[in-house]
Amino acid sequence: MKVEKDPVLRHLGRVLILLILLSSPLVAQKAAAASTHEDAAESALKTRVTKFWTSWQNGDSEALTALVRREDRPAFSVITRFQVNNFSLMSIQFSKDLKAAIVVTNVRRVVALFGHPIDWPTENEWVYTQGNWYLKYQQGEKPGLFAPGGKVYKYPQPPPPPQTYGGELAFRETVHDFGKVPLGTPLHWEYEFENHGPKTVRLTRVVGGCLDATLESVCLTAHSNGTFFEKGSQGKIVAELADVSKPQKVDTTVEVDTDWGQAIKLRFVAEITPRQ
């Protein structure tokens, strides 16, 4: 027995297929338009962020401040005291409405504590207002106010530079062994070095180690024959040990730090024997 389909249902099915066919290009066009809008926002923000860090790198405070949201400029002026050596954009995370974004930038800067450049990933919020992108900075503002949901852009990072120092001390020896020495003999040694780097080195720390961890322990006295050493110049670290009260093995160090990040340990070794 042949069953006839309901003509109304058949008509509705045809209408539904027609609507799907007609809406597909519209959906695709809407998605393409949204993607184009996001890419345009990314390009505009990327330009502003690049100008911001370039201005900081060049010390152009006027151009730098002009990229900060107007109401945040008085607070922002107090944080621009460190030097930016270089930077690279890492990522941009947009809000759903494309009115705000979290920008992560890898900033290479000199930190006085270390005395040489370090990489410092820096996260900032940017907002779209008055027809352009501006850095949002409010001192003491709690994080977490940004609502994500928009597109995320990530950027390839340049390879890290080779590990080099502006100035680099090369020692003739980093270990000196006196061998067996009778009790009561003062021990004195000079560790000679030369600056092989292209720039001047400043010694920031020269400290002699102790024979043990007790308060009564005898320690090395150590000093250098200068503080600043230009390229190609020579110097020395002088280490002395006296007043050892009993026979014992000595194995301690002189620690030397420079403003270019070198941390050198010079071993001082001897065996103190009983008096003959």
Give me the pLDDT at residue 122, please: 86
Between CA 225 and CA 160 the distance in angstroms is 35
Q: Could you give the domains of the chain?
A: 16-154 (3.10.450.100), 169-273 (2.60.40.10)
Instruction: Tell me how crowded residue 45 is: count the other CB atoms within 10 A of its CB.
Output: 21
pTM greater than 0.85: no
Residue numbers in the chain where pLDDT is lower than 70? 1-34, 77-82, 110-117, 138-148, 160-166, 213-217
Say whether 76 sits in a helix, a strand or coil.
helix
Give me the pLDDT at residue 144, please: 43
Give me the pLDDT at residue 162, please: 57
Half-sphere exposure of 169 (CA within 13 A, CB side): 30
- Please write the tens of the pLDDT for every residue from 106-134: 987 765 444 556 778 888 899 999 899 99
Give me the pLDDT at residue 42, please: 93
Between CA 79 and CA 62 the distance in angstroms is 14
Give me the pLDDT at residue 268, please: 96
